[in-house]
Structure 1
Amino acid sequence: MSGLPDPNDPVSVAVWNRAAASLVRETRQRIMTSSASTATPMKHSFEERVDDVKSPKSDINSLIFDYLMMEGYPNAAAKFSKEANLQPHQADDTIQLRQQIQHSIHIGSVQSAIEALNDLDPE
């Protein structure tokens, strides 16, 4: 095990990204408060408010779950939901249609994607 996330597992990638972001914030904070720096810039009030916000784990879990569902990973979302003790959710019927639209775009079949979009959300 190399310590890197499995790129096919969105949950491990999300956890890895969160840990990396935290490490970057901590390193940045250490650099900004270092005695070696001659002029430490003042933190913007927005940054201070962001740092003061403590997100409940349930909110973070819900956000990860929603991401997995919206990006078309219903199996990973179901497993994550179970591990995170979230309320079981019914699989969104539009996931397959969204995946079909994405696939059509990726292979260059724009007309097929447009037709599928119109089926999903007729004007």
Structure 2
Amino acid sequence: MSVLGYVPVKSCCMVMRLNLDCNSCCRKTRRIILRIKGVETHMIDKQQCTVTVCGRFRASDVAIKLRKKMKRRVEILHIEEEEEEGDFGSGGHRHDQPPADHQSIDISHYAPHHHPAFIAATNGD
């Protein structure tokens, strides 16, 4: 625990089961989930009565909020914490390795630049 009681929240995916009787229950669940801070993606499966939520949040907070707003029992089936690579400043990739799709480009066959300073430098004047 750090200063002022702030606990860093990790990225996770959580699968919950709650009774989704009708389409209005699904719409209400969706509306509640979209208003929760930190939720990035969600999926509601009406046939299996499951709700999958992914993002940066505390799993217990999401389950409690759904239970209070829906007035239904919420059962957490599975929580999977996602590993994050690098630190917050790196943008999710390492700087010492090039990206996987990075390719070196040979530009020797392109026409030279037509700027007067470039032409003077290449002519030897």
Q: Which has the higher contact order (CA 8 A, sep 6+)?
A: 2
Q: TM-score range by the shorter chain?
A: under 0.3
Larger Rg: 2
Identify, as 1 or 2, the structure richer in helix: 1
* TM-score normalised per structure 1: 0.23
Question: Taking structure 2 as the reference length, what is the TM-score of the superposition?
Answer: 0.23
